[in-house]
Amino acid sequence: MATPGIRPLVAGNWKMNGSLAMASALVGDIKARHQGGALPVDLLLCPPFPYLAPVGADLAGTAIALGGQDCHVKANGAHTGDVSAAMLADLGCRFTILGHSERRTDHRESSATVAAKAKAALDAGLTAIICVGETEAQRNAGEELKIVENQLIESIPSGANVRNAVVAYEPVWAIGTGKTPTVADVAAMHRHIRALLEQRVPGGGKMRILYGGSVKPGNAAELMGVAEVNGALVGGASLKAEDFWGIAEGAAKSAG
């Protein structure tokens, strides 16, 4: 069983995928499953920015939360193509993902940038999902614990606490590859993250720590049952309602 007293969160990160028709059908299917039997799990959908408004409208009146996939450090200004945390909140978002490895790699985001974005998210009333994770080369070199520790320490802003921040551990080499760390590997990393949070964040002993990286219905219950795993950040599998719901059911089993 995962951490007692912490309600799991299963977040779907759609990344740069979808269309209006796909978004409407996917949300409709997830809503139907949710209405047919709600689980003891919090659900979150994070579509691309253009689809936030229609997905938010489709989710209105449900317990399923809406989130963004990033935000800018500034609340407004001359930042063409960027979206502020305040804008996300204005659209009804309650969360935003920050520091995903694809942002750190594709957009050269440093942990200092992630911390600044997370602070902006907190100031806008959003919950920041702060992502950390090592590359395959770093794990093979035995550096994974130190890499993740440094990312975590440098990415969590002042003001973060159990109510407004979530950590997501995603080994970079497991994202979209079909590779998954062993249960022992996941347990060791989540214990390490928990110890760091307890030292550095108010209420860190109860902050949610998600696992992400090739999570599927077939491995969800086992992964979600690992000590200190409090849900999942789901990529590709969140684009199919059956798979996303299957992962949520796996998380529900871990919640007892």
Tens digit of each residue's pLDDT, the chain (256 residues) = 578 889 999 999 999 999 999 999 999 999 999 987 779 999 999 999 999 999 999 999 999 999 999 999 999 999 999 999 999 999 999 999 999 999 999 999 999 999 999 999 999 999 999 999 999 999 999 999 999 999 999 999 999 999 999 999 999 998 888 888 999 999 999 999 999 999 999 999 999 999 999 999 999 999 999 999 999 999 999 999 999 999 999 999 987 5
Q: What is the predicted pLDDT for the residue at 256?
A: 58
Work out the percent of the chain whose per-residue pLDDT is above 90.
91
Nearby residues of 249 by Cβ (< 8 Å), 6 or more positions away = 39, 217, 220, 221
Q: Are 127 and 93 in contact (CB under 8 A)?
A: no
CA distance linking residue 92 with residue 105, whole number of Å: 28
Alpha helices by DSSP H, listed for 75-216, are 85-90, 101-106, 111-123, 136-140, 144-155, 183-200
Residues 23-35: tens digit of each pLDDT: 999 999 999 999 8
Active site (catalytic) residues: 100, 170
Looking up tokens 């409407």, which residue turns up?
24
Give all domains of the chain, ordered by start, each with its CATH number. Answer: 81-219 (3.20.20.70)
Provide the whole-model pTM: 0.97
